[in-house]
Chain A
Amino acid sequence: MRHAGVAFEASDGGDKARRFRAAALPYLNDVFTLARYLLRNAADAEDAAQECYLRAFRHFDTFRGGPIKPWLLAILRNVCRAEYARRGALAGMLSESLDTAAEQSVDGLWAEAEGSPEAQTLGRLDGETVRRLVAELPDQFREAIVLREVNELSYREIADVVGVPVGTVMSRLARGRALLRAAWRAEEKGS
C-alpha cells in the first residue's frame, strides 16, 4: 500500500476540494488512531490513513451526507483489511468467517475476566500503558472498544462500520471491557 502522494486531477474543481477538506480533515486524528490500533504499527497506520483520505476524496461524490466520521472510518477499515490480506495475517482479524475461531481462542481469557465482577475501583495507570492494554486486546474486541471509547461512535454507527448487527456490537463491547478490566487489574498487580 505504499504510494507516492499522487495529486488529484485539478479538474475535480475547487468546490469539491473545499467541501472535502472542511468535512474530512478534522477527523484525521480519529482515522489515524483507529489505524494505529487496528494495524498496531505507526508506519503502516500512516500509509493506511493516507490511502483512506485518497479513497475518500475520490469517492466523495458518493457520500450522501449525514455524519462523515463513520463513513471515513469504514473506508479506513477496508484499507486496513486490504493491508491484512497483504500481510497474509494468520488471524485474518477482520474476516468475519474467522470470528468464531477468534472468539473461541479468547474463551480462556474470557472465563478469567468473567469470574465474579468486583466493583472495586481501578487504580491509575499512565496513558502509554493504557494504550498498550487496549492494543493488546483481541482484534474484534479492540476494534469495538476503540470505535466506541476513542472514536465515540454510536452502536448503530459501529455496526455499520464493522458490518455486524447492533447486538453483536453490544456483546463485543461487554466482552472487550471485561477483558480490558482484567488486563488492567493484572497490570496493577504486576507493577
Chain B
Amino acid sequence: MTCDEAQVLVHALIDGELDASHARDVEAHAASCARCAAELAAARDLRQALRGNDLTHAAPLSLRRSIDRAVPSPAMTSRRAVLKGFAMGSVVSAAAAAGIALVVVRDGSDSRIMGEAVSAHLRSLQADHLTDVLSSDRHTVKPWFNGRIDLAPPVIDLTGQGFTLIGGRLDFIDGKPVAALVYRRRVHVINMFVMQGMGAALSAPKLDVIQGFNILRWTDHGLNLLAVSDLAQDELEEFEAKFESATKAERAG
C-alpha cells in the first residue's frame, strides 16, 4: 500500500467502511509509517472533536407546522372514510372503518413499531424461522449481516450470564430491514431487533406490554434496540443491563 492510498483509506477506516482485511492493511501500513500514523491520529482526533459538538440545526417549529399542514393527515382522511363506509352500509366498508379507527387510535410510529415487533416475534416462533444464521458464536453471527443490512448490529454472547445467543435473522419492521438477534433464557426466547432511526430515541430503557409480551426499548450509539419476550419484566431488564454493560466493556477494551 502506498502512502497516497493510505492517506485516504485511513478515513474509510475510522468511518468503519473497510472490511477486516483492508482495515488490517491500513493499520499495518500506519504502524510502519509515521506520516500515515499521524494522518490516522489526526482523523480520529477530529472525529472526537466533532462528536463533542452538535452540528445539527434543529428545524424551527414554524417549518414543522407548515409541513404538517401541507401533508394530509391520516386522521382527517380516515374520518371521511368512516362516514362514507357507514353511509354505504357495506360490511366491507364497516370492517375497513374499524381498521381505520384502530389506526387513528394507535397513531404514532412507536406503537406501530412495537406492534410489528410483536408480530415478528410471533412469526419467528411459529413459522420455524427463528434464525437465518444459527450460531452461538458472535464472530459468525455479526459478519453474516454484512451486505444484508446497512448497520452493524452489536452481537454479544451472554451465555455466561444466563442468556444464550442462538443466532440472527433478517426481519422487516415498518417496511425496513432490521437485524434480529435471538437469545434464549431457559425456555424463553428473546428477539432483539436492532434498527436505525426508527421511532423515538430513548436515553433510558422503556418498558411496554403489548398482547402480553414485554417489550423493552432503548437507544445506544444511534441504534434503536427493541427486545421482545415472554420473559418476566425484571428478567428482560436484567438482559438489557447485561447486554449494555457487555457492549460498553467491549467498546472500551
Q: Which residues of A contact B (CB under 8 A)?
A: 5-8, 10, 12-15, 17-23, 25-33, 36-37, 42, 45-46, 49-50, 53-54, 57, 65-69, 116-119, 121-122, 124-127, 130-131, 134, 146, 148-150, 152, 154-155, 157, 170-171, 173-174, 177, 180-181, 184
The reply to whether B74 and A130 contact each other, CB–CB distance below 8 Å, is: no
Q: Which residues of B contact A (CB under 8 A)?
A: 7-12, 15, 17, 35, 37-39, 41-43, 45-47, 49-50, 52-60, 62-64, 66-67, 69-78, 80-81, 100, 103, 107, 109, 112, 150, 174-177, 196-199, 222
Q: How far is the CB of B30 from chain A (nearest CB, A)?
A: 11
**In the complex where A28-B64, A177-B43, A177-B46 touch, is A171 in contact with B8 (Cβ < 8 A)?**
yes
The reply to whether B11 and A33 contact each other, CB–CB distance below 8 Å, is: no
**In the complex where A117-B39, A119-B42 touch, is A67 in contact with B12 (Cβ < 8 A)?**
no
Chain A residues positioned under 8 Å from B198 (CB to CB): 26
Chain A residues positioned under 8 Å from B107 (CB to CB): 18
Set A46, A116, A117, A155: member contacting B60, Cβ < 8 A: A46
Chain A residues positioned under 8 Å from B66 (CB to CB): 5, 50
Set A28, A36, A53: member contacting B70, Cβ < 8 A: A53
Set B38, B59, B81, B175: member contacting A119, Cβ < 8 A: B38
The reply to whether A15 and B8 contact each other, CB–CB distance below 8 Å, is: no
The reply to whether B196 and A67 contact each other, CB–CB distance below 8 Å, is: yes
Residue picked from A13, A57, A119, most chain B C-beta under 10 Å: A119
Q: How far is the CB of B56 from chain A (nearest CB, A)?
A: 5
Chain B residues positioned under 8 Å from A121 (CB to CB): 45
Main secondary structure of the interface of A (DSSP, over half): helix
The reply to whether A53 and B74 contact each other, CB–CB distance below 8 Å, is: no
Give the 9 A-B residue pairs with the shortest CB-CB distance, closest first.
Answer: A14-B77, A119-B41, A18-B74, A32-B59, A14-B74, A117-B38, A22-B109, A36-B57, A122-B49
The reply to whether A119 and B72 contact each other, CB–CB distance below 8 Å, is: no
Q: For the complex, what is the distance from the CA of A83 to the CA of B138, rounded to whole Å? A: 49
The reply to whether B77 and A5 contact each other, CB–CB distance below 8 Å, is: no
Chain B residues positioned under 8 Å from A157 (CB to CB): 150
Set B39, B46, B57, B174: member contacting A33, Cβ < 8 A: B57
**In the complex where A7-B69, A15-B74, A124-B52 touch, is A29 in contact with B59 (Cβ < 8 A)?**
yes
Chain A residues positioned under 8 Å from B74 (CB to CB): 14-15, 17-18, 21
Q: For the complex, what is the distance from the CA of A65 to the CA of B149, rounded to whole Å? A: 13
Set A17, A45, A65: member contacting B72, Cβ < 8 A: A17
Q: For the complex, what is the distance from the CA of A131 to the CA of B199, rounded to whole Å? A: 27
Set A8, A116, A131: member contacting B71, Cβ < 8 A: A8
Q: How far is the CB of A48 from chain B (nearest CB, A)?
A: 10
Chain A residues positioned under 8 Å from B53 (CB to CB): 125-127, 130-131
Q: How far is the CB of B82 from chain A (nearest CB, A)?
A: 10
Chain A residues positioned under 8 Å from B58 (CB to CB): 29, 32
Q: How far is the CB of A36 from chain B (nearest CB, A)?
A: 4
Chain A residues positioned under 8 Å from B222 (CB to CB): 152
Chain A residues positioned under 8 Å from B78 (CB to CB): 14
Chain B residues positioned under 8 Å from A20 (CB to CB): 71
The reply to whether A150 and B55 contact each other, CB–CB distance below 8 Å, is: yes
**In the complex where A117-B38, A154-B17 touch, is A50 in contact with B67 (Cβ < 8 A)?**
yes
Chain A residues positioned under 8 Å from B100 (CB to CB): 14
Set A5, A116, A184: member contacting B38, Cβ < 8 A: A116
Chain B residues positioned under 8 Å from A124 (CB to CB): 49, 52
Q: For the complex, what is the distance from the CA of A134 to the CA of B53, rounded to whole Å? A: 12
Contacts A7-B72, A30-B56, A32-B63 known; list 17 others, CB within 8 Å: A14-B78, A14-B100, A22-B112, A23-B174, A23-B175, A28-B63, A29-B56, A29-B58, A29-B59, A32-B57, A36-B57, A50-B63, A119-B42, A126-B53, A130-B53, A134-B55, A155-B12
Set B11, B49, B77, B80: member contacting A173, Cβ < 8 A: B11
Chain B residues positioned under 8 Å from A19 (CB to CB): 175
The reply to whether B71 and A17 contact each other, CB–CB distance below 8 Å, is: yes
